[in-house]
A and B are shown apart, each in its own frame.
Chain A
């Protein structure tokens, strides 16, 4: 059985999203750096594996999979002992609800903010600030709703941690660190701050401080 290979970029939030789940499930993996500055993800060979030309993808002993959340779910399914997806039907439904909340509310609004920063950083392009400010305001409005949810339960799907919480972490940390400090840690949203802090303290996050790298042994 060949070791699982994660093709990505050390600082990509989607690559982080997969790395966290690999660590949580204690899956050894090799990290293959896709040179984004060279647009390696747009070569014909790369597009054979990931036809949308994005990172990351995995090659698990010949099985190719892309979309970081799908990869996370695959790893969690292969390693049910990691308990990242509930099996009880109602808890499972609420997990799916939480995973959808992450995408529809958090990622949807985080994405343009992160892309604008990437354009600035890699292409030197400035973006119109007013729409970005509006997006940040929307994101914070959604976090106000998270505050209500997390006041009643420990994690976004219920009282147990699931993939839905972990899926938030890379972009939450990125926005807090590089775009607007206080979004996740503000005392005006103490339950969000508590939840964020707990996620940041997990070994699966700390393992990749400084950039995603492969792990051969846990």
Chain B
């Protein structure tokens, strides 16, 4: 039974799950849930994901949602030998991984996501940009990436010496902001640039970057 992703191909979170499927060579079936048509708010979908956002997954009857936990589940179930999540027996490496995952969630995801909304989604829908808000968000995101620059000067990846999900989780928004919103977030930051160049050129990301 193939791994099923109920999602919307261009959605950030749907691509985040598809990316990890590709990294682990887990074939998946994408069952479309159209955001423009509001299918993510339909009663049948709400049974899968009561908060009414994409994606949700069904792995041979085991259902869950939230893209980052799904990614962790994929590694746990299908990633034998994968280093995308550290061995739980290595408590220190795991703690540093969890710190990096929390940093992505707490410091990066929100300003990045809202910037994308302001700079790409709103114009697409013919809505005006909130220039003041964009300025604030840019200042926040830039200050966070300045910290990333310092961290990545001392270690190759956000969790330490090994590439993990913590790095990959950044891809959908970073790709969107650099390629679609045309923001220059990396050229003035050589370590961030090196890190982003590496993670974005991975074949798994190349396969799903424009649609899961």
User: Which residues in A have some Cβ–Cβ distance to B below 8 Å?
Assistant: 51-52, 63, 65-70, 73-74, 77-78, 89-90, 92-94, 96-97, 99-101, 103-105, 108, 142, 145, 148-149
- CA–CA, A93 and B68, complex, Å: 10
Known contacts A51-B150, A93-B69: A70-B99 contact under CB 8 Å: yes
Known contacts A74-B91, A96-B73, A101-B51: A69-B66 contact under CB 8 Å: no
Q: What is the interface of chain A mostly: helix, strand, loop, or mixed?
A: helix
Known contacts A51-B147, A63-B92, A70-B99: A145-B51 contact under CB 8 Å: yes
Closest residue of chain B to A52, judged by CB?
B147
Contact, CB under 8 Å: B91 / A78:
yes
Contact, CB under 8 Å: A92 / B50:
no
Residue of B69, B91, B150 with most partner-chain A CB within 10 A: B69
Contacts of A148 in B (CB 8 A): 50
Contact, CB under 8 Å: A52 / B72:
no
Residue of B62, B72, B73, B106 with most partner-chain A CB within 10 A: B106
B76 sits at the interface (CB 8 A): yes
Contact, CB under 8 Å: A51 / B151:
yes
Taking residues whose C-beta sits less than 8 angstroms from the other chain, chain B's interface range is: 20 to 34
B105 sits at the interface (CB 8 A): yes
Known contacts A65-B99, A69-B98, A70-B102: A52-B107 contact under CB 8 Å: yes
Cβ 8 A contact of B99, one of A67, A99, A103, A108:
A67
Closest residue of chain A to B150, judged by CB?
A51
- CA–CA, A117 and B101, complex, Å: 27
Contacts of A65 in B (CB 8 A): 95-96, 99
Known contacts A100-B69, A108-B110: A67-B50 contact under CB 8 Å: no
Contact, CB under 8 Å: B91 / A77:
yes
Q: A114 → chain B, closest Cβ, in Å?
A: 14
Contacts of A73 in B (CB 8 A): 94-95, 98
Contact flags (1/0) for B131-159 with A, using CB distance below 8 Å? 00000000000001001001100000000
- CA–CA, A132 and B99, complex, Å: 29
B116 sits at the interface (CB 8 A): no
